[in-house]
């Protein structure tokens, strides 16, 4: 059986945060119903579409879910959600702070409908603290949390990370909280409220950078480029190759000794590079010396050579190279699915459980595609009742 077989999940979320969390739950076997406002998830309307005109980002995060169009701003829509909650195990939401409470759908309201419900709320800053209630997006959290201040090079402007790391780290944390609450419910029989703030979730990733500030061992800049966050490891950088770039690092003295012997350049024997502390003090000269050596070799050649010496290294791949990477294809986290409408790329799952198969993704539904199915099968509504809600603009 799948890990979350029989678990019913309602997703009242948009963009990446809650949709990624519930996508993972769907791959683990949960039955996920995605609630969308009448206008649909904003990511349905982005200009990035695949060959058949489908919204790529929306498909990545919402394939394998049933979709229902429901207006939660009106009492009839709120009643429908309450009825769905009666038979649900989990509700995941990342609407703007306070929105669910304004709709009369906050945790205290819904727990009266279903005491076993686990409600997970994702926000930028949580429910308490000076910033509680402020809206947030991945970019603004990166700004507020020093991610941007630590990304880029010392003499350049702050830079956001290429991928939307905050939203996806937040989604993974939310999944951990939900699964923990599900486990506790097996002991207590009671649900609870899970709160995940994006700022909280991303702060631990700054451990090395914060260590550099606290230790005051070096007058290190906030932005260290491709170097170690606290400039405490050297070599640690991206170095030029004939056909691009390669990363390498020597986290221990033994790694350095193997690299030094391989370089075979008298410059590598310089006393300034003798110990880790020495190398960190002279990392500019160290990087120049290593760069001269790597620049005469290809990415593949360097990766093979250094990998054979057990020196941490990797080629810097481009996005097209990533999509064709045989290991990425073999793992199936990015996968192409073919159905009766054609082929599309979506996400598999990064979670592999030896005793629980992953549920294969299916095409994300059109806006409201499963509304009638959900209302009929989950709530037992008649055709006339559904038609009445549709005529009223509720669904």
On whether the CB atoms of residues 7 and 186 are closer than 8 A, the answer is no
Are 54 and 103 in the same domain? yes
CATH number of the domain enclosing 307: 3.30.1540.10
Q: Is 219 exposed, middle or buried (0-12, 13-18, 19+ CB in 10 A)?
A: exposed
On whether the CB atoms of residues 90 and 64 are closer than 8 A, the answer is no
| pLDDT confidence bin for 109, thresholds 50/70/90 | very high
- 209 inside domain: no
- 96 inside domain: yes
Residue 356's pLDDT is 95
Round the average pLDDT of the chain to a whole number and report it. Answer: 95
Q: Is 9 exposed, middle or buried (0-12, 13-18, 19+ CB in 10 A)?
A: buried
Residues 148-186 have pLDDT tens digits of 999 999 899 999 999 999 999 999 999 999 999 999 999
Are 162 and 273 in the same domain? no
Residue 52's pLDDT is 83
Residue 204 per-residue DSSP state = G
- Range of weakest confidence among 216-220, 263-267, 342-346: 216-220
Q: Is 336 exposed, middle or buried (0-12, 13-18, 19+ CB in 10 A)?
A: exposed
Cα 252 to its chain centre, rounded Å, is 31
Q: How many domains is the chain built from?
A: 2
Residue 54's pLDDT is 86
Residue 220's pLDDT is 65
- 338 inside domain: no
Residues 347-374 have pLDDT tens digits of 999 999 999 999 999 999 999 999 999 9
pLDDT of 393 over the 70 cut: yes
pLDDT of 379 over the 90 cut: yes
Residues 6-28 have pLDDT tens digits of 999 999 999 999 999 999 999 99
How far is 226 from 175, CA to CA, in rounded Å? 30
| pLDDT confidence bin for 229, thresholds 50/70/90 | confident
- 208 inside domain: no
Mean pLDDT of 195-200: 97
pLDDT of 50 over the 90 cut: no
Residues of the chain with pLDDT > 90, as a percent, come to: 90
| pLDDT confidence bin for 319, thresholds 50/70/90 | very high
Identify the domain containing residue 385 by its residue range.
8-203+350-391
pLDDT of 218 over the 90 cut: no
Residue 216's pLDDT is 67
Q: In the annotation, is 167 catalytic?
A: yes
Are 55 and 149 in the same domain? yes
- 198 inside domain: yes
Q: Which of 50, 167, 270, 278 is catalytic?
A: 167
Residues 305-314 have pLDDT tens digits of 999 999 999 9
Are 188 and 310 in the same domain? no
| pLDDT confidence bin for 51, thresholds 50/70/90 | confident
Residue 210's pLDDT is 87
| DSSP bridge pairs for 344 | 337
């Amino acid at each position: 059986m799948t890990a979350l077989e029989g678990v019913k999940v309602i997703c009242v979320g948009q963009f990446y945060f809650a949709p990624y969390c519930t996508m993972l739950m769907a791959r683990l076997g949960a039955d996920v119903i995605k609630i969308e406002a009448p206008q649909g998830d904003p990511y349905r309307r982005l200009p990035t579409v695949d060959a058949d005109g489908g919204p790529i980002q929306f498909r990545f995060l919402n394939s394998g879910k049933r979709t229902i169009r429901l207006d939660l701003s009106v009492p009839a829509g709120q009643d429908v959600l309450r009825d769905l909650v009666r038979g649900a195990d989990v509700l995941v939401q990342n609407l703007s702070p306070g929105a669910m409470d304004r709709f009369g759908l906050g945790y205290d309201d819904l727990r009266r409908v279903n005491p076993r419900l686990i409600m997970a709320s994702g926000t930028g800053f949580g429910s308490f603290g000076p910033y509680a209630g402020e809206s947030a997006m991945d970019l603004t959290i990166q700004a507020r949390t020093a991610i941007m201040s630590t990304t880029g090079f010392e003499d350049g402007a702050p830079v956001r990370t290429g991928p939307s790391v905050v939203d996806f780290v937040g989604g993974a944390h939310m999944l951990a909280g939900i699964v923990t609450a599900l486990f506790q419910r097996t002991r207590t029989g009671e649900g609870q409220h899970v709160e995940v703030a994006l700022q909280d979730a991303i702060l631990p990733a700054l451990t090395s950078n914060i260590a550099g500030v606290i230790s005051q061992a070096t007058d290190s800049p906030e932005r260290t480029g491709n170097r170690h966050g606290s400039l405490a490891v050297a070599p640690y950088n991206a170095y030029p190759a004939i056909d691009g770039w390669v990363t390498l690092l020597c986290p221990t003295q033994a790694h350095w000794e193997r690299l030094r012997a391989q370089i075979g350049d008298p410059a590598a024997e310089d006393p300034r590079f003798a110990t880790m502390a020495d190398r960190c003090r002279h990392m500019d000269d160290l990087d120049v010396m290593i760069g001269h050596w790597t620049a005469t070799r290809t990415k593949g050649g360097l990766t093979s050579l250094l990998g054979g010496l057990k020196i941490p290294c990797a080629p810097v791949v481009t996005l097209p190279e990533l999509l064709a990477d045989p290991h990425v294809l073999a793992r199936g986290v990015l996968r192409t699915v073919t159905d009766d409408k054609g082929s599309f790329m979506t996400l598999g799952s990064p979670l592999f459980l030896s005793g629980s198969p992953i549920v294969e993704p299916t095409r994300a539904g059109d806006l409201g595609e499963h509304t009638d199915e959900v209302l009929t099968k989950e709530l037992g509504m008649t055709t006339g009742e559904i038609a009445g809600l549709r005529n009223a603009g509720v669904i």
